[in-house]
Every structure is written in C-alpha cells, then in structure tokens.
Amino acid sequence: MNTRYAPRSIEQYLAQLREAFAGEDPALVQDALYDAEEYLRAELAANPDKSEADVLELIASTYGAPDEVADAYRATERQVRKALAPTPPKPRSTAIGRFFGVWGDSRAWMALFYMLMAIVTGVFYFTVVVTGASLSLGLMILIIGIPFFLLFVGFTRLLALIEGRIVEGLLGQRMPRRPTYPLKGRSVMERIGLMLRDRRTWTTMMYFLLMLPLGIAYFVVALTGVTVSVALVLVPLMALGIDAGVIQVEDFVYNGPPLAVALFAVPLGVLALTLMMHLARAIGRMHGAIAKNLLVAQIKAD
C-alpha cells in the first residue's frame, strides 16, 4: 500500500500503520495498532455528525499520520526497554570468566525461577483449557453452550496477556501489553467473528496445553540440577562430621565418603551448578521464542 495519500477510513489508517511498522517486533506492532484503533474509533463515535473521512483528516493533524505514530512508538519503546532492562553482567575477557560470569546474569536466575514455577502455571493452564473445551462440547446441545464457549475463549485470551507479562518480566522476551484489537465500536457478532477467526485464539490454547509437559520437564531439570549440584557441594559435611553414620540399613552403616573424595566433589558441584545456570538461561530464551510465536499476533502489512 502506498502511504503517500491520506487515509480515508480506519482500515486504511491501520493498514498504513502496519506498513510503517514493517520489520518491527510483532508485540510492539500489536500494542500500537490496538492504541491507534481504540483512539480512532473513540474519535469517530465522538463526532457522529462528521463522515469517517473528515474525522480521519482531523486526526491526522492531532494524533499524527501513520508514519509519525510509528516513529513515536519506536522512540518510546527504546526508552522503555532501556529503563526496564536489567543490569547487564560485566564483560569478561577470558573464556573462564565468561563461563562463570553467568552467576552475575539476572536473566539466568529469573529463567531458573520460571522453570521452577512453570509446573504450577502449566497445570493451571492445562486444566483451564481441557475443562473449558470439555464443558463447551458437552453444553453445545443446550442454549448456554455457545455463550459458555465464547466466555471460555475470552478467558484464555486474558490468560495469554497475563502469561505474556510473566514471560516478559522473567525471560526478557517482549510480549504484548494490549489485546489484539479493541472491542469498542464493534457489534457483538463482529467481536465474535474476529475472535474466532484470529489465529492466536487457537495457538493460545495450544500453548496452554504444551505448558503441562514443558512445565513438568522444566521443573524436573531445574530441581534435579540444583539438588544434585548443592548435594555435591555439601559432601564435605558428611566426610567430616558424623561418627554414628549417616545411612544405616539393618547392620550396614555408611559413614560418608573419604575426605579426599569429598574435597573433589566441591568443585564438581560448583561446575554442575554453573552448567545448570547456563542451561536455565538457554531454556529461558527458547521458551520466550515459543511464547512469542504462539501468543503474539503475527501482524503483516497489507
């Protein structure tokens, strides 16, 4: 679409705005399109005596042309990202320094926390989708079946926004802060049609179903890695302390490992825990990409 002519309708304005955002983060584009459409429809409703073209012409001089709005959003996004970005780890000049520098990376710690909590959110999301879908199918023979299904779909979209805030806060992946589109100025049937035709409605449910196996896997990996690593670091306590034995099965008493073995276990545990931090950071990036693809509307220019 050529953006040199002034838009004469809301659809043309939004199409030009999408084109002006070509190549930008889909989450940023979704937020900008939501804000623009909400403002345009509010202005159109506030001026019922004017045509849509006249209102768009007035808005172009106040709200801004599509390319101006896009530039303003880019500038604001840079400022927000700079303000919210965690303190970056100090650059390391050696391979060993970069390897152990993960301890100072806040993203690795937050990703590890996300892995531990994912089993809770995964079970909750999975339960919501399975229960909602099952009840919707079961109630289709009744008059309340369709309203219940639409309510269920709307609830999953709300959960998607909440999960997006969690993913952005803990994993650093930019996620939408607005819904896909505003509901003001649309009829009930139009809202339903948009919601059911939206690819993200169905990919959101797919994401919530995937969160159960992913959450279990993340939790097992994180808990096992941390527990084994910490146990190795604490092995010297077993070698130095307990005369009566730490493990007893009938007549067999185990008094702990020899001191030499215990001392070797400490660096092994530190190494294992450092590897766990690197793995957590990598899993955080991978899961952020999954959330980006399934929870964010992939908006393309016309």
* Residues 290 and 151 both lie in one domain: yes
pLDDT value at residue 1 = 41
- Confidence (pTM): 0.82
User: 3-state DSSP call for residue 175?
Assistant: coil
Range 97-118 average pLDDT: 91
Could you give the CA distance from residue 35 to residue 17 in angstroms, rounded to a whole number?
11
pLDDT value at residue 243 = 47
Please provide the average confidence, as pLDDT, over all residues in the chain: 84
Of 38, 63, 85, which one is at a domain's C-terminal end? 85
pLDDT value at residue 193 = 83
For 66, residues 6+ apart whose C-beta sits below 8 A from its C-beta are 3, 7, 13, 16, 17, 19, 20
Could you give the CA distance from residue 43 to residue 55 in angstroms, rounded to a whole number?
7
* Residues 101 and 179 both lie in one domain: yes
* Residues 300 and 173 both lie in one domain: yes
Of 58, 85, 112, which one is at a domain's C-terminal end? 85
* Residues 41 and 175 both lie in one domain: no
* Residues 211 and 146 both lie in one domain: yes
Q: What is the pLDDT of residues 65-81, one digit of tens each?
A: 888 889 999 998 888 88
Give the domain range for residue 129. Answer: 91-302
pLDDT value at residue 288 = 95
Between CA 237 and CA 159, with CA 105 as vertex, the angle to 5 degrees is 105
Structure confidence at residue 127 as a pLDDT band (50, 70, 90): very high
Of 85, 113, 140, which one is at a domain's C-terminal end? 85
24: closest CA among 60, 59, 85, 67?
A: 67
Range 146-173 average pLDDT: 92
* Residues 119 and 33 both lie in one domain: no
* Residues 173 and 69 both lie in one domain: no
* Residues 62 and 99 both lie in one domain: no
First to last CA, the chain: 7
Our count of domains for the chain comes to 2
Could you give the CA distance from residue 204 to residue 277 in angstroms, rounded to a whole number?
29
pLDDT value at residue 251 = 64
What tokens appear for 65 in the block? 């042309």
Q: Are 190 and 37 in contact (CB under 8 A)?
A: no
* Residues 170 and 239 both lie in one domain: yes
* Residues 7 and 115 both lie in one domain: no
Could you give the CA distance from residue 142 to residue 248 in angstroms, rounded to a whole number?
63
Range 239-268 average pLDDT: 64
Query: Is residue 9 predicted with pLDDT exceeding 80?
Result: yes
27: closest CA among 285, 298, 301?
A: 298
Could you give the CA distance from residue 136 to residue 147 in angstroms, rounded to a whole number?
9
* Residues 119 and 60 both lie in one domain: no
State the DSSP string of 62-111.
HT--HHHHHHHHHHHHHHHHHHHPPPPPPP-SSHHHHHHGGGG-HHHHHH
- Greater confidence, 35 or 5? 35
Query: Is residue 285 predicted with pLDDT exceeding 60?
Result: yes
What tokens appear for 108 in the block? 């690795």
pLDDT value at residue 2 = 44
* Residues 196 and 285 both lie in one domain: yes
Residue 6 is given by DSSP the state P
Length of the chain: 302
Structure confidence at residue 119 as a pLDDT band (50, 70, 90): very high
